[in-house]
Structure 1
C-alpha cells in the first residue's frame, strides 16, 4: 500500500510496554525480567500512533507528539528532546533505507512510568514507540520490521539515553519473560525458563535516581574475587533456571557489581532489605539502577504483607507506589 492509500484509510494503533527489572541482582547488564501487577494495573507506558491530521490549507501534514499521563510533567517539554520523537526519526530513517513510503503521524505517549525509577522507564517509552510505529505500518501499509531489527533499534535508543549499549531493560520489555543478553549481535538475547509461580513485590519510593549517576558511582575495576563471584553466581543462576531449581537460583541472587556501591544512593534500602530477608523473602534487590526495590516470595499472602510493610516503611513521597507483580511473558502488546 502506498502513502496515498494509507492516508485515505488508516487505523490508530496503541502499544503497551511493561516495566522490567534490569540486572535482577545477579546479572549486571545481562539479565532482565518483565513484570506485571497481578491486579491488572498497567505498569509501563502506552504509545498511540495515528495518521497526522491535515486541513485544506495544509500543503503537507507534519509529525506531532503529545505527552499525557501521571509522569508527563517529568519529561522535556520540547518534542525534539523526547526519546519518543527520536524513535520516530530513527524509524523513519529505517523506512527510507528500505525504500518504504513514509507518512506523517501523530503520536501520543501516555507516561505511566516514573522517570529514573529503575523500572525501565526509558525502555518502556522506547519499546512502546518503536513497536507502536511498527504495528501502525504493519496494519496500514503491510510493511513491518522483523523482531530482531526492531530490538536493535530499541538498544540504539537506550544507548542514546544512558551512554552505553545494554539490552537488559528493552529486551524483556519488548519480548517478555526473563531474558539473558548474549554477545552475538544477531541473537542479542535468549529467553530463560523463569519462576512464573513467584511473586515480585515492586516498591518505588517516589524519588529519582538517574541511570548515568548510578553508573558513575561504580568502580572502574573489580577484584579477582569479585569477578569470580559474579561469574559463578550468574552461571549457577542460569543453570538453576534451566533445571527449575528455585532454591539454588535464589540462593545466588546476589549483586557484587553494583549494589554495594549504590546503597548510599538509596535511603532506607538497606533497612528494607534486611527486614524482608529476615521475614523469609527469597531475595531482595535493587531494580535496575534504583531506587525501586524488588522482593521475591512464593505466595500472594506473603507478597501482600511485604507490600503493606513497604508502603509504610520504604515510600518517601506521594509519587511512590508498591505493586505485587508476576512475570510478564507477553512483553509489548497492542491494546
Structure 2
C-alpha cells in the first residue's frame, strides 16, 4: 500500500520575475530531474528514510528534514478537517542537489505534500483541494527561506510557467509557453544557500531599476500571451538579482558572454543560483551550449571530480506526477 510522486526542477524568477515567476523544466532525455517521495502504510509509527545521490547533503537527524515538517503540517490539517490520521513511512529519494537554484527544497516539499495527498486519496478516500495543497507548500517553503514566495513550489506542483498573483484564493496563473524552446541547465557543482543569495541583494532599488523591472515583466507577460517569442526573450533581463549575485558565481560572467555571442535567446541565473540557464529554439545550438557549459562552467574539486551536471530541458507542463507502482 504505497504511492510515489515525482516533483520536477524549476527555474525561479526567470530573470524578469523576481519571486513572482517560475518555470518547471524536464530533461529531453527522460532523466528525472527532481525528487521522488514514496508514502507507505506503517505499522511502527511515522518514519522518514532519505536515500538518493544527494541524501548526504541533508541533516542526519530526519526530524530536521523539511519533509518531516511537511508530514507534521499535513497531519495538522487532517486533524483540523476531522480526518483519521494514518501512520506512514515516507521515503525521500533526494535526486536534487541542495542549494542549486533548481528549486531543490521545493521539490522535496511538493513531492512530500502531493505524495501524502495521493496516499490519502487512494487509500482513505480523502484529499485536499489544489489550493489548500499549494498553501501548505508555500508555508513549508517560507519556513526554509524565511519569506513566502511561490515561484518554485507553484510551477513544481502545477507545471508550466506560473505567474504569482496577489490573491490568496488564486495564488498563481499559468502563462502560455514557447513549446519549441530548449532550456539548457548547468549546475556547476557548488552550493549557494538561498538565504546567502538573498542577503547579498540591496534593501532598496533606484526608480530607474523599478521602472525597468516593471516594464520588462509586463512586456514579457504580454509577449507570452501574444506568442511573440522575439519580444519575450528580448526583455528577459534581470535588473534585481543578477547584477549582485553574479559576483558569487565562479565563471558566470564568462559563460554569459560566450552564450550571448553564440546566439542564445536569453541567459540567466536559475533561482538563487549557482545554476545557469540559457534558452534557444535550435536543437543543434542547445547541444553546442550544453557541451561548452559542461567543459567550462562546471567546477572541478581538488580530487578532479565534479558534482555538477548539464541537462537540455523543455518546459514541463505536468508538474508533480504520480509514478507507476
Partner of 1:142: 125
Matches within 5 A, 1:228-239: 228-239=211-222
Partner of 2:209: 226
If the length of structure 2 is used for normalisation, what is the TM-score? 0.97
In 2, Cα distance between the equivalents of 1:39 and 1:206?
20
Matches within 5 A, 1:19-98: 19-52=9-42, 54=43, 61-98=44-81
Partner of 1:287: 270
Partner of 1:242: 225
In 2, Cα distance between the equivalents of 1:196 and 1:114?
27
| TM-aligned CA deviation for residue 88 of structure 1 | 0.2
Matches within 5 A, 1:122-201: 122-201=105-184
Report the secondary structure of 1:276's partner residue.
helix
Report the secondary structure of 1:108's partner residue.
strand
Cα deviations by residue, 1:141-199 (Å, 9 ceiling, x for unpaired): 00000100000000000000000000000000000000000000110000000111100
Larger radius of gyration between Structure 1 and Structure 2: 1
For these two proteins, the number of residue pairs brought into alignment is 318
| TM-aligned CA deviation for residue 240 of structure 1 | 0.1
Report the secondary structure of 2:141's partner residue.
helix
- Specify every segment of 5 or more residues in structure 1 that has no aligned partner in the other structure, as ranges: 1-10, 55-60
| TM-aligned CA deviation for residue 299 of structure 1 | 1.7
If the length of structure 1 is used for normalisation, what is the TM-score? 0.94
Cα deviations by residue, 1:127-148 (Å, 9 ceiling, x for unpaired): 0000000000000000000100
Partner of 1:214: 197
Partner of 1:12: 2
In 1, Cα distance between the equivalents of 2:294 and 2:62?
35
Report the secondary structure of 1:48's partner residue.
strand
Runs of 4+ with deviation above 4 angstroms = none
In 2, Cα distance between the equivalents of 1:193 and 1:138?
30
Residue 305 of structure 1 pairs with residue 295 of structure 2 = no
In 2, Cα distance between the equivalents of 1:273 and 1:166?
27
In 1, Cα distance between the equivalents of 2:209 and 2:268?
18
Cα deviations by residue, 1:104-128 (Å, 9 ceiling, x for unpaired): 1000000000000000000000000
In 2, Cα distance between the equivalents of 1:195 and 1:166?
24
Partner of 1:319: 307
In 2, Cα distance between the equivalents of 1:134 and 1:310?
39
Partner of 2:185: 202
Report the secondary structure of 2:314's partner residue.
strand
In 2, Cα distance between the equivalents of 1:103 and 1:236?
48
Partner of 2:85: 102
In 1, Cα distance between the equivalents of 2:310 and 2:19?
24
| TM-aligned CA deviation for residue 79 of structure 1 | 1.2
Partner of 2:260: 277
Report the secondary structure of 1:324's partner residue.
strand
| TM-aligned CA deviation for residue 301 of structure 1 | 1.2
